[in-house]
Amino acid sequence: MSKDQKLAEYMKNWQETEPRELYQNFHKLDDTDKKKAYAFFVRGTEFRLSKEGLEKLTAAPKENERLIGISVVMGLSEFKPYTVNFVPILGLTYCKENCKQCREHNDPYKCKDNIAYYFEFEDVKHNRKSYWGSDVDDGSSVVSLPFVDQVRNNWLDTASDQMADTVTSQSPEGLERVLSYQIADAGLDFFIANREFLTNLYIYPGVDLNKHTTADIAFIPVFGLKFQTLADTDTSSLFRKHGFGISWKINGEDEDDELFMDFSRPCPPTCYPPPPPPPGTGGLANK
């Protein structure tokens, strides 16, 4: 099975898993403490982009190609009990300069030969209780991180039987599960301007309790962008005028600084810009 076929299967699994079974895919059994007579479940809280994906994201586009879309697509690997099967997938959409809309930066999503590349995020950290917030007021933060901390804590505090509700919205046609999150406008501009300086990209699951109607998607992926340096440091004005959430955490000399973005558009219900083309229309298999 090719990588494109595997990731297409992950996306299908996400769409078709029963709501009451969804929560099982976010947890793993932790029996590492051998002194205890029992084990407990921990929830996935941190996902890191694969090395292959980071190399593609930070590289210059191929000749006659332009990066026009960055998405996180929701996926589930083949179900294995006691394991985190949730797999966020990075989708990178490119248009080709032989398309007029691509050349003129005029709604390039309408180009028929757009291609997409897909890369997995790896499950790297788990927790069973809220803990963020204890280390953000130690003088290392340029701006406070209250919202980022809160939504990440909300993810851990969400009851297992309510997890499906955080990724579901009500439309006139019925219940819809979110399939992807699109980065657009200032967020996309920022990614493109600074991607060559990225040293790592993380996804931290979060839940925004302000989104409490049936038409809202409460689940939000918080992006953690690791940098050693930035081409554009005027991020505050760039994001403020577009309504983006942005926070910095400055780390020690032996660790890269991290920028948090807490804004992306869930699709559905809000599918503009559109999601990337499906795997097999120009993804990993044709790289």
- What pLDDT, on a 0 to 100 scale, did the predictor assign at position 178? 96
Check if the beta carbon of residue 193 is closer than 8 Å to that of residue 232. yes
Place of tokens 């509700």: 165
The closest alpha carbon to 75, from 8, 27, 150, 149, belongs to 8
Contacts of 87 (CB under 8 A, 6+ apart): 10, 75, 76, 77, 120, 121, 123
- Domain holding 269, by residue range, is 3-286
- The better pLDDT of the pair 208, 232 is held by 208
CA 250, CA 233: separation in Å to the nearest integer? 13
State the pLDDT confidence band at 272, using cuts at 50, 70 and 90: confident
How far from the centroid of its chain's Cα atoms is residue 155's Cα?
Answer: 14
Q: What type of residue is 189?
A: D
Among 46-55, 205-214, 256-265, name the most confident range.
46-55
Q: Work out how many domains the chain is built from and give that number.
A: 1
- What pLDDT, on a 0 to 100 scale, did the predictor assign at position 147? 79
> What would the pLDDT profile of 216-246 be if each residue is shown by its tens digit?
899 999 998 888 766 554 555 445 544 445 5
- What pLDDT, on a 0 to 100 scale, did the predictor assign at position 261? 83
State the pLDDT confidence band at 34, using cuts at 50, 70 and 90: low
- Whether the per-residue pLDDT at 96 is higher than 80: the answer is yes
Least confident piece of the model among 48-62, 199-213, 271-285: 271-285
